[in-house]
Copies of this chain bind each other. A is one copy, B any other.
Amino acid sequence: MNEAELRAELTALHQTLVETALVAWTAGNVSARVADDRFLIKPSGVPYERLTPESMVLCDMDGRPVEDSALKPSSDVFAHAYVYRHRPDIGGVVHTHSTYATAWAARNEAIPCVLTAMADEFGGEIPVGPFAMIGGEDIGKGIVETLEGHRSPAILMRNHGVFTIGGSPRAAVKAAVMCEDVARTVHLSRQLGEPLPLAAGDVDHLYDRYQNAYGQ
């Protein structure tokens, strides 16, 4: 996609966050890599219903808006920039405070892989990254370092919320939707007992099939 197409795609994906109830008020954001040295991101504090393709803020890889930007980028811009700089395979990043996932994050607890749908999408547990201050690079650093040891495109940041990554912004939004879905199901399952673990070999098999054979 070119920049114009990505601006439209980002606008639509922010509506998906609203429709899937992953965000409240102006919290949360999606970004998309446009080129080696540019990415687009949600403006800071703008209500979802007012977002347009034009309101997405074009930034350089240090998270600074490029010259002709009218709006300030999301205050999470430096976390997104860090991810794009260190992960050239990543085309999209999503951040939410989705309810159940954030409830795990507040306890500093990873979500164990006890569902086939988790093995499919995450290839194992969804890990927790460190507590880090908003507005600097520490969050980005925590994301990249924690995800190195996992197949999961989602990470819970302690006492904060969720970040997801993907080859495209749509893939990252999918990971955010599925992360909340499994966070909720495993939470509920654990309320009345202990969910059974999946065998590591079964997780591998499910992950391989889903990543390679699922879809068109």
Contacts and interface: CB of A to CB of B under 8 A. Distances in A.
Interface of A: 20, 24-27, 43-46, 71-72, 75, 97, 99-100, 102-104, 106-109, 114-117, 131, 133-135, 158-161, 174, 177-178, 181, 184-196, 198, 202, 205-206, 209, 213-216
A106 B135 CA distance: 36
Contacts of A100: 188
B71 A107 contact: no
B193 A192 contact: no
B115 A159 contact: yes
A106 B27 contact: no
Contacts of A43: 216
Contacts of A44: 214-216
- Top 10 nearest A-B pairs (CB, nearest first) are A45-B215, A106-B195, A103-B188, A103-B189, A106-B189, A24-B181, A116-B160, A107-B193, A102-B185, A106-B114
